[in-house]
Amino acid sequence: MLDENKQLVTTDYAALKAWCLTQPAPKQHALKAFIAYLSQERTAHNLKYKTKTPFYKSRSSYGLKHVVERLSDALGDHEYVSNENFIVAMLQAGFRIQNECEKNRGEYRYMLSPNYLFDIKPIKIEKELVSLIAQGVREGKY
């Protein structure tokens, strides 16, 4: 499933999900908390609008993994999260996925990216989100 650069690059999402489900679950505390928060938000959206959360172009897996690393810093863990670990954890949690270049469909439509989009709401104010999740971890919510 990995390309020659050891990156997940494919549009065969069924095969990618099947492969991810065979991988060990990432152990980073901040990653688990972040995904628990996103799952809660996605469920609330789906119940409110009676529809699946659409794909948003605002943040790719690479940008979101950096949010998780900032959350890890806020929790005092200072853990590195690879793009691959982030993608595996999101698929294991049941999020839908789409290759970033497939969504853009511009001049790069025949190229694939190692970055993916997920069915989550846009993340706008990163600092507030990190604080909110960190507080939830301290309170035992995540």
Closest CA to 67 of 1, 142, 133, 139: 133
**pLDDT exceeds cutoff 70 at 107:** no
pLDDT at 69: 92
> Where in the sequence is the domain holding 124, given as residue range(s)?
13-138
Measured N-to-C along each axis, helices 61-74 and 83-92 cross at an angle, to the nearest 10 degrees, of 90
- The total number of structural domains that make up the chain: 1
Would residue 46 count as lying in a domain?
A: yes
Residue 88 lies in a domain: yes
Residue 132 forms part of a structural domain? yes
Helix (H) or strand (E) holding 26: none
pTM of the entire predicted model: 0.75
- The yes-or-no verdict on residue 111 having pLDDT over 70 is no
Lowest pLDDT segment from 26-30, 65-69, 80-84: 26-30
Query: Is residue 106 a part of any domain in this protein?
Result: yes
The predicted structure's pLDDT at residue 58: 66
CA 83 to chain centre: 9
The verdict on residue 7 lying in a domain is no
Higher pLDDT, 84 or 7: 84
- pLDDT mean over 24-49: 81
pLDDT value at residue 104: 55
- What pLDDT does residue 5 have? 66
pLDDT of residue 59: 80
Can you give the pLDDT at residue 126? 76
Please give the residue that has the higher pLDDT: either 82 or 121: 82
Number of Cβ within 10 Å of residue 117's Cβ equals: 25
CA atoms of 37 and 64, how far apart (whole Å): 13
* Mean pLDDT score across all residues of the chain: 80
